[in-house]
C-alpha cells in the first residue's frame, strides 16, 4: 500500500486544526457568555467586565496585527514578486540597496533540500539546544521538545552583498540578508504543561568569509559564518503560553519576553559574534585563527543619564513618573544599570566595557525600561549605538534620541580602546585607569584546547571509571564553565574565553577541572599569574600546562594571549598570524598580490615555529622582538611630492628591509648635508597608510628638523596644519598641538581622513608648518609648506619618509627632492 505524500498529510492536519479552532472558538464565546451571566447572577461589579473587555480587545488587536505581518512575510517567501506587487512593504534588501544582488538560484536550491534539513535540525534541537535551555533558567529545568515541524516554507536569501574593494586580496567577504518567515510548529512541555511556538520569524545579516584563497582546489582554505548582530525574532505562542501573553502577569511565568530572550540567547551562543561556525576545507588550515580571530578593540560605554522620559506609571495626583533603568545588548552579552525610582530624568553614571570583533558592522542595542515589580517591565524607549563612529573619533560624547516613543533622550560617552602587544604601554594605561576597579587595562584571550591523562573518577572504593570532565575558568569576579565531555580522560573542548583584566601585575587565572559524575571531586587545578605573559614572546603562551593535584602526567593545553588597552593606534600591533600551517609543503601562498598583514612567500616556506619557552631558545634572538617591513619610497610627480606604488616602481627606487624591533621606529634623521632640505627651511617626517576596511587615510606627523627661527629669541612655536585638497573646509582640516620654543619639534600625532579608495587619485595633502603668534605680531607666521600627491599612493602598505619644506609662494615647489631610506 502506497504511503500518503507528506504534503497531503500536512494538508489533512491543517484541515483538522482548522476544525479544532472553530470548536475552541465556539466554547470560548460560550464561556464568555456564561461568565457575563455569572457576574450578574453573583452581583459582581461591572468594573470586572470592563477589565475583561479591555484585555480581550487588546489581545485581538495585537493578534490581528501580528497575523497580518506573518501572512505578508509568508506570502513573500512563497512568491516574492507577487507579494511585492500586492504590497510594497517589508521589502528584501536588494530592493533598497543597489549594491545588494538577488540570489534566487540559491533560494531554489534551498527550497529543494529543505525537507532533508528537518532531521538535522531535530537532532540539533533535542541534543544541543534542549540541554542549554534547561540550564538557562531555574524555571526551564523540565523543558522538553514534544513536536518539531519546520513547515513547508524554507529560509530565503533576501540579498547578497559581496565586498570587493575594502578587503584583502586573499579573502572574500559576503553579507547575506537572511529572511526566515516560517510556518513551523514547535511544541514543548514545561512543568507538565503543553505549549508551543508557531510562525517563527527570524531576520538578520549573516556574514560569510572565505579565506585564504588558494591556487588549487577547493580554491579557498576555510569558511566562516556568523551573524554580525542579534537577528530580530518574532513568533506566536500556542496553548497555555498564549494565555500568558497578557499585560500584568507575574514576571516569573513563561511570558513572551522570556521565550524571546531564550531563543535569542541560543542563537547568539552559536553564531552571533564573537561566536561563529567555522568549516575547514583543507587539512593545513589553522582552524583556531579562522574560528577565533583576535578582536579589534574594546568599547567603554559610559551610561550617564537620560532626560524627558515618558511616564510609565500613572499618578492620580500630579504627573506620573517612571522607575527607569537601561539594558545594553551586544551579541550574547547583556549589561544592566541600577534602577532610579520615581523620575523621568535619571542619572546612572555607570560604565561598561565590551570587546568588539567588527567595529565597522556591529551595533549595540539600548533599551530604557520601567521597573514594575510583580509584572513585566515596560519599554520606554530604544536606541542603537553605532560603534564605527566612536572608533573613528576615539571618544564620542553625545545625546541619542530614543526611538519608538514620543520623547526622551539618553546621554552616552563612548571611548574606543585599541589592543597593544607592547608591555611598555601598560604603565601608561594603568595610570589612566587609576584606582577605578570598574575599568580594565588589558584583555586576556584564552583558547582552551584539550587535556590529557586526567585521573579516573573514584566512584567506588575499588573501582576507577573514566571521568566526564568540565573546566571552570575564573579571573576576578568573572568565571566561565565549559560543557562536559563524557567518559574520557583526554577531553577536547576547543573553546575560546575572554576576560577583561584590571591589573595583570597582581591578577591570576584560576583553572579547575571537575568530574560531572561527582562535581565535588577535583581532577586537577592550575593558577597562572598574568604577569608571566608580560615577558612572554608577543605576550602569548601556547603550550601544555602541568596540572596540580592531578595525575603525574596530567596536562591541559591552552593558548593565552594578553593585550593592553590604549587609546593610541599603531598598525604594528594588529597582527592575526598565519592562517595556514606552514609546516606542510603542499601549502600554496595566498592568491594575488600581497597586502598589509599578509605574510611573504618566503616566510610561508619556513617551518612552523615551536610554541612555549622552547621557541626563544631555538631562535637565537630576543623572543620579544618582531619583524616589521619598512618600504623606501621616492618622489616622482611634478605636481608635488609623490608616494609611488611599489607594484609600479623599479627595484632601484623601491627596496624592502626587515628590521627587528619592539615598536615601529621612525626613519632616521637625514644626513647633515640635507638636514635643512632643498629650500633651507627644514624637513618634516610623515607616515602614510590607507585602511581599506575603514576607508580612512591615516597620516602620522612624526617630527620636524631645522625649522626657520621666527621669534626674536631665534626660536619658534611650531605646529602643523593639514588640508585634504581640493577641500579646504573645516571638515577637511587637521592641526597638531603647538610645541613651544623648539626648532626640532616632535609631534607623533595621528590623524585620519574619511576617503574612499577611488577618490585618492584626485586628492592632494597640503601641510603648512606655522608659527603660533598673536594676530598683531610681526613675527613670521608660515615657516614652510609641503604638498603630497596621493594619486600614486600604494594603499596596501604604510610608507614613512622625510619631505622638504618650501616657501609658501615658491615657484620651485614642484621640484622633486630625494627621499631618504626609512631604515
Confidence of residue 674 (pLDDT cuts 50, 70, 90): low
Q: Whole-angstrom Cα distance, residue 283 to residue 584?
A: 10
Confidence of residue 649 (pLDDT cuts 50, 70, 90): very low
Give yes or no for a contact between 466 and 576, defined as CB atoms under 8 angstroms apart. Answer: no
770-817 tens-digit pLDDT: 988 877 777 778 889 998 888 777 766 778 888 888 888 765 544 433
Confidence of residue 628 (pLDDT cuts 50, 70, 90): very low
End-to-end CA distance of the chain: 84
**Which residue would you say has higher pLDDT here, 596 or 164?**
164
For residue 390, how many other CB atoms are within 10 A of its CB? 24
Q: What does DSSP assign to residue 601?
A: H
Q: What is the pLDDT of residue 462?
A: 47
Q: What is the pLDDT of residue 579?
A: 63
**Reading across the β-sheet that carries 378-386, which strands appear in turn?**
333-336, 324-330, 363-370, 378-386
184-240 tens-digit pLDDT: 888 888 777 787 788 888 888 899 999 888 888 889 989 999 988 888 888 777 766
- Residue 704 phi, psi dihedral angles, 5° rounding: -125, 155
Pick the most confident of 173-187, 466-480, 700-714: 466-480
Q: What average pLDDT is seen over the chain?
A: 76
Cα radius of gyration (the chain): 32
**Which residue would you say has higher pLDDT here, 169 or 589?**
169
Q: What is the pLDDT of residue 503?
A: 92
- Residue 73 phi, psi dihedral angles, 5° rounding: -65, -40
For residue 588, how many other CB atoms are within 10 A of its CB? 16
Where would I find the beta strands (DSSP E) of 265-361?
277-280, 297-307, 324-330, 333-336, 347-356
333-346 tens-digit pLDDT: 889 999 999 899 99
Pick the most confident of 89-93, 353-357, 656-660: 353-357
712-736 tens-digit pLDDT: 778 889 999 988 887 777 667 888 9
The cell numbers describing 341, all together, are: 525610582
Q: What is the pLDDT of residue 606?
A: 36
For the entire predicted model, the pTM comes to: 0.57
**Which residue would you say has higher pLDDT here, 357 or 582?**
357
**Which residue would you say has higher pLDDT here, 9 or 612?**
9
Taking residues 148-162, report their average pLDDT: 87
Where would I find the beta strands (DSSP E) of 491-531?
492-501, 508-515, 518-529
Residue 470 has pLDDT above 60, yes or no: yes
Confidence of residue 671 (pLDDT cuts 50, 70, 90): low
Place of cell 600591533: 573
Relative orientation angle of helices 46-78 and 6-41, to the nearest 10 degrees: 170
Give yes or no for a contact between 338 and 369, defined as CB atoms under 8 angstroms apart. Answer: no
Residue 603 has pLDDT above 80, yes or no: no
Q: What is the pLDDT of residue 632?
A: 34
The fraction of the chain above a pLDDT of 70, given in percent, is: 75
Q: What does DSSP assign to residue 501?
A: E
The cell numbers describing 315, all together, are: 499618578
Q: What does DSSP assign to residue 795?
A: T
Give yes or no for a contact between 693 and 358, defined as CB atoms under 8 angstroms apart. Answer: no
Pick the most confident of 71-80, 286-295, 631-640: 286-295
Q: 181-190, 304-313, 569-578: lowest mean pLDDT where?
A: 569-578
**Those residues with Cβ within 8 angstroms of residue 287's Cβ, 6 or more apart along the chain or in another chain:** 222, 278, 280
Q: What is the pLDDT of residue 791?
A: 79
Residue 254 has pLDDT above 70, yes or no: no
Residue 364 has pLDDT above 80, yes or no: yes
Q: What is the pLDDT of residue 624?
A: 34
**616, exposed or middle or buried, with CB in 10 Å at 0-12, 13-18, 19+?**
middle
Q: What is the pLDDT of residue 610?
A: 40
Give yes or no for a contact between 418 and 566, defined as CB atoms under 8 angstroms apart. Answer: yes
The cell numbers describing 500, all together, are: 577583561
Q: What does DSSP assign to residue 500?
A: E
Q: 13-17, 494-498, 737-741: lowest mean pLDDT where?
A: 13-17
Residue 180 has pLDDT above 60, yes or no: yes
Q: Whole-angstrom Cα distance, residue 64 to residue 53?
A: 16
Residue 636 has pLDDT above 70, yes or no: no
Helices (H), 571-685: 601-604, 614-619
Residue 601 has pLDDT above 50, yes or no: no
255-283 tens-digit pLDDT: 566 677 777 777 777 788 888 888 888 88
- Residue 285 phi, psi dihedral angles, 5° rounding: -75, 135
121-143 tens-digit pLDDT: 888 888 878 887 777 667 778 88
Q: What is the pLDDT of residue 419?
A: 93
Confidence of residue 598 (pLDDT cuts 50, 70, 90): very low
Q: What is the pLDDT of residue 531?
A: 92
Taking residues 403-431, report their average pLDDT: 90
**Which residue would you say has higher pLDDT here, 498 or 617?**
498
Give yes or no for a contact between 701 and 686, defined as CB atoms under 8 angstroms apart. Answer: yes
**199, exposed or middle or buried, with CB in 10 Å at 0-12, 13-18, 19+?**
buried
Amino acid at each position: 500500500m502506497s504511503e500518503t505524500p507528506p504534503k497531503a498529510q500536512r494538508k489533512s492536519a491543517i484541515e483538522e486544526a482548522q476544525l479544532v479552532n472553530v470548536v475552541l472558538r465556539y466554547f470560548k464565546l460560550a464561556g464568555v457568555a456564561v461568565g457575563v451571566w455569572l457576574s450578574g447572577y453573583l452581583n459582581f461589579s461591572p468594573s470586572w467586565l470592563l477589565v475583561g473587555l479591555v484585555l480581550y480587545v487588546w489581545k485581538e488587536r495585537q493578534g490581528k496585527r501580528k497575523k497580518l505581518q506573518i501572512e505578508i512575510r509568508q506570502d513573500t517567501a512563497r512568491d516574492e514578486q507577487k507579494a511585492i506587487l500586492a504590497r510594497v512593504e517589508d521589502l528584501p534588501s536588494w530592493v533598497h540597496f543597489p549594491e545588494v544582488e538577488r540570489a534566487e538560484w540559491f533560494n531554489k536550491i534551498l527550497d529543494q533540500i529543505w525537507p532533508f534539513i528537518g532531521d538535522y535540525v531535530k537532532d540539533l534541537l533535542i541534543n544541543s539546544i534542549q540541554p542549554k535551555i534547561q540550564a538557562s533558567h531555574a524555571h526551564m529545568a523540565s523543558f522538553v521538545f514534544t513536536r518539531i515541524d519546520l513547515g513547508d516554507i524554507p529560509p530565503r536569501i533576501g540579498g547578497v552583498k559581496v565586498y570587493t574593494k575594502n578587503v584583502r586580496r586573499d579573502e572574500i567577504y559576503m553579507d547575506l540578508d537572511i529572511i526566515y518567515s516560517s510556518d513551523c510548529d514547535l511544541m514543548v512541555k514545561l512543568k507538565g504543561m503543553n505549549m508551543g511556538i508557531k510562525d517563527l520569524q527570524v531576520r538578520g545579516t549573516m556574514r560569510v568569509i572565505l579565506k585564504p584563497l588558494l591556487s588549487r582546489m577547493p580554491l579557498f582554505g576555510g569558511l566562516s559564518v556568523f551573524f554580525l548582530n542579534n537577528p530580530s525574532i518574532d513568533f506566536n505562542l500556542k496553548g497555555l503560553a498564549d494565555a500568558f501573553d497578557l499585560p500584568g502577569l507575574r514576571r516569573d511565568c513563561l511570558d513572551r519576553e522570556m521565550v524571546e530572550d531564550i531563543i535569542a540567547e541560543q542563537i547568539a551562543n552559536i553564531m552571533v559574534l564573537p561566536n561563529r561556525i567555522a568549516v575547514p576545507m583543507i587539512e593545513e588550515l589553522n582552524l583556531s585563527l579562522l574560528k577565533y580571530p583576535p578582536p579589534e578593540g574594546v568599547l567603554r560605554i559610559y551610561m550617564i543619564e537620560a532626560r524627558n522620559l515618558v511616564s510609565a506609571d500613572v499618578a492620580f495626583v500630579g504627573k506620573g513618573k517612571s522607575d527607569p533603568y537601561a539594558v545594553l545588548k551586544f551579541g550574547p552579552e547583556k549589561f544592566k544599570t541600577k534602577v532610579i525610582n520615581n523620575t523621568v530624568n535619571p542619572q546612572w553614571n555607570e560604565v561598561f566595557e565590551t570587546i568588539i570583533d567588527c567595529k565597522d558592522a556591529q551595533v549595540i542595542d539600548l533599551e530604557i525600561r520601567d521597573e514594575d515589580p510583580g509584572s513585566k517591565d515596560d519599554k520606554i524607549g530604544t536606541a542603537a549605538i553605532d560603534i564605527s563612529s566612536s572608533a573613528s573619533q576615539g571618544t564620542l560624547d553625545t545625546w541619542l534620541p530614543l526611538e519608538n516613543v514620543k520623547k526622551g533622550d539618553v546621554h552616552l560617552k563612548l571611548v574606543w580602546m585599541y589592543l597593544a602587544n607592547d608591555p611598555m604601554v601598560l604603565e601608561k594605561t594603568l595610570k589612566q585607569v587609576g584606582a577605578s576597579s570598574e575599568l580594565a587595562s588589558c584583555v586576556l584571550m584564552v583558547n582552551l584546547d584539550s587535556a590529557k591523562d586526567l585521573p579516573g573518577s573514584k566512584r567506588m572504593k575499588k573501582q576507577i571509571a573514566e571521568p566526564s570532565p568540565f573546566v571552570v575558568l575564573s579571573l576576578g569576579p568573572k568565571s566561565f564553565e565549559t560543557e562536559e565531555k563524557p567518559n574520557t580522560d583526554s577531553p577536547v573542548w576547543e573553546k575560546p574565553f575572554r576576560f577583561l583584566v584590571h591589573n595583570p601585575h597582581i591578577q591570576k587565572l584560576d583553572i579547575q577541572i571537575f568530574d560531572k559524575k561527582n562535581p565535588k571531586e577535583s581532577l586537577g587545578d592550575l593558577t597562572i599569574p598574568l604577569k608571566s605573559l608580560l615577558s612572554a614572546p608577543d605576550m602569548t603562551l601556547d603550550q601544555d600546562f602541568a596540572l596540580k593535584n592531578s595525575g603525574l602526567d596530567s596536562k591541559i593545553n591552552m593558548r593565552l594571549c594578553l593585550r593592553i588597552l590604549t587609546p593610541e593606534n599603531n598598525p604594528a600591533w594588529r597582527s592575526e598570524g598565519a592562517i595556514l600551517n606552514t609546516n606542510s609543503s603542499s601549502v600554496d601562498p595566498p592568491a594575488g598580490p600581497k597586502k598589509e598583514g599578509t605574510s611573504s612567500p618566503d616566510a610561508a616556506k619556513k617551518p612552523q615555529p615551536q610554541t612555549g619557552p622552547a621557541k626563544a631558545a631555538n631562535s637565537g634572538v630576543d623572543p620579544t622582538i618582531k619583524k616589521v617591513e619598512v618600504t623606501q619610497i621616492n618622489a616622482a610627480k611634478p605636481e608635488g611630492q609623490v608616494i609611488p606604488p611599489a607594484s609600479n616602481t623599479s627595484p632601484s627606487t623601491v627596496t624592502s628591509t626587515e628590521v627587528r624591533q619592539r615598536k615601529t621606529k621612525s626613519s632616521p634623521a637625514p644626513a647633515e648635508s640635507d638636514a635643512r632640505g632643498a629650500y633651507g627651511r627644514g624637513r618634516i617626517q610623515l607616515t602614510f597608510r590607507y585602511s581599506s576596511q575603514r576607508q580612512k587615510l591615516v597620516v602620522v606627523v612624526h617630527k620636524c628638523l631645522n625649522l626657520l627661527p621666527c621669534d626674536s629669541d631665534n626660536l619658534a612655536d611650531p605646529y602643523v596644519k593639514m588640508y585634504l585638497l581640493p577641500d579646504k573646509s573645516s571638515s577637511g582640516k587637521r592641526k597638531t598641538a603647538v610645541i613651544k620654543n623648539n626648532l626640532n619639534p616632535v609631534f607623533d600625532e595621528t590623524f585620519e581622513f574619511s576617503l574612499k579608495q577611488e577618490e585618492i587619485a584626485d586628492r592632494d595633502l597640503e601641510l603648512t608648518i606655522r608659527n603660533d603668534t598673536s594676530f598683531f605680531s610681526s613675527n613670521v607666521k608660515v615657516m614652510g609648506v609641503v604638498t603630497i600627491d596621493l594619486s600614486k599612493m600604494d594603499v596596501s602598505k604604510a610608507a614613512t619618509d622625510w619631505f622638504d619644506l618650501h616657501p609658501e609662494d615658491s615657484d620651485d615647489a614642484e621640484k622633486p627632492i630625494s627621499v631618504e631610506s626609512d631604515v
